[in-house]
Amino acid sequence: MSDRRVYLDHAATTPVLPAVIDVVAGTMATLGNPSSLHASGRSARKLVEEARESVAAGLGARPSEVVFTSGGTEADNLAVKGLYWARRAADPRRVRILASAVEHHAVLDSVDWLAAEQGAKVEWLPVDHRGRLDVEALRRVVRDDPESVALITVMWANNEVGTVQPIGEVVAAGHEFGIPVHSDAVQAVGALPVHFGDSGLDALTVSGHKVGAPVGVGALLLRREVDVVPVLHGGGQERDVRSGTLDAPGVAGLAEALRSTLADVPDRAAELATLRDRLVTGLRRVVPEAILNGDPANTLPGIAHFSFPGCEGDALLLLLDAASIDCSTGSACTAGVPEPSHVLLAMGAPHERARGSLRFSLGSTSTAGDVDALVAAIGPAVERALAAGIVNVSTGSTRGN
């Protein structure tokens, strides 16, 4: 086993940037509740508002449109539930939610909860074999009965296979009938140019730990004219949309992370795309039967998602883990039983292929050496996983348990 671990799971979380650590540590030494009126409180409030202005400038929003949250999951919940409740309260006919079938679970499960507990009628929008939204299907569904649609939610870029969605067309389809549109842009921010104002979106989700900030901070960009019902109630902070004492060190860290990450998005994207191409070429050379998933023409620069026929993704992950390589499967695990990726199933992949997949995601610390280490390890790992599968089948045991 190598002494040095190779980290190829940046889509799950990124290393906290050194400059962010300095900012957070320095801010943590500053006493004061940002909601307090005394000098210490005003000092903390100044840090928060400076961070808000910085985040807004980096993402093409107005400062008043930045609502700080505890992360992407809270921001998604606030957007989906808050928009649904507000729209339904204004017109009880508005009970339909239109969402892509490949959403992150923070959106997926929020929508499912609204359907189960709040009377929402959910329509999952189909994607093609590349994971790209069928925009014509969206238009047909909207035009069928626009007055009954509460909101549309479509992620900017998929967290598993990396496919980038046609957000401009989604916004146009919704706004033709005055329907608000939300997008989970957690994977897109820092990897692609993201400008909230130009996008036309009504709400956009950002997560700090995907751009070099600490876990536990994020933001919902929310247009001032858009009403949402709060999920949290309390002191009325953040436009009375998200109550709770503001995390001044966290939001300062988020602002610093975005300043650093957004400063050179095109150059970083080009570097990551080069590394990804090296990974794809090398892996296909040693495992020719591997299937590259996603849309090569419209994909995040740092994600390469493969299916390995005949292999269990969990088995491959553990074999690579033993070789000091970190990556992830796209499958979920419930009560110890692996489930196939809902993203690949929505793309039309059979269950076996959906369970036999791995995501390799690159980031700011990734190197050509990391890619080469994976290429050297993946062939033997696949051979061992295939052998294990043959043994399991011959003995009648269930693969993946």
- Is residue 302 within 8 Å of residue 10, measured between CB atoms? yes
CATH code of 18-262, in short, is: 3.40.640.10
Residue 192: predicted pLDDT = 97
**Residues 334-367: pLDDT tens digits?**
445 567 899 999 999 999 999 999 999 999 999 9
Candidates 333, 368, 376, 390; catalytic one = 333
* Cα–Cα dist 101/123, whole Å: 9
CATH code of 264-395, in short, is: 3.90.1150.10
Residue 388: predicted pLDDT = 81
**Residues 136-150: pLDDT tens digits?**
999 999 999 999 999
**Residues 263-279: pLDDT tens digits?**
999 999 999 999 999 99
**Residues 32-62: pLDDT tens digits?**
999 999 999 999 999 999 999 999 999 999 9
Residue 333: predicted pLDDT = 47
**Residues 178-194: pLDDT tens digits?**
999 999 999 999 999 99
Mean pLDDT, to the nearest integer, of 375-388?
95
Average pLDDT, the chain: 93
333 has catalytic annotation: yes
Residue 400: predicted pLDDT = 33
How much of the chain, in percent, has pLDDT values that exceed 70? 94
Query: How would residue 394 be classed by pLDDT, with cut points 50, 70 and 90?
Result: very low
- Is residue 43 within 8 Å of residue 26, measured between CB atoms? no
> Could you tell me how many residues make up the chain?
401
Strands (DSSP E) contained in 276-341 are 291-293, 303-307, 325-326, 332-334, 337-339
Q: What is the residue extent of each domain of the chain? A: 18-262, 264-395
CA quadruple 45, 245, 254, 324: dihedral positive or negative?
Answer: positive
Mean pLDDT, to the nearest integer, of 107-127?
98
- Is residue 253 within 8 Å of residue 42, measured between CB atoms? no
Residue 390: predicted pLDDT = 52
Indicate if the pLDDT at residue 134 is higher than 70.
Answer: yes
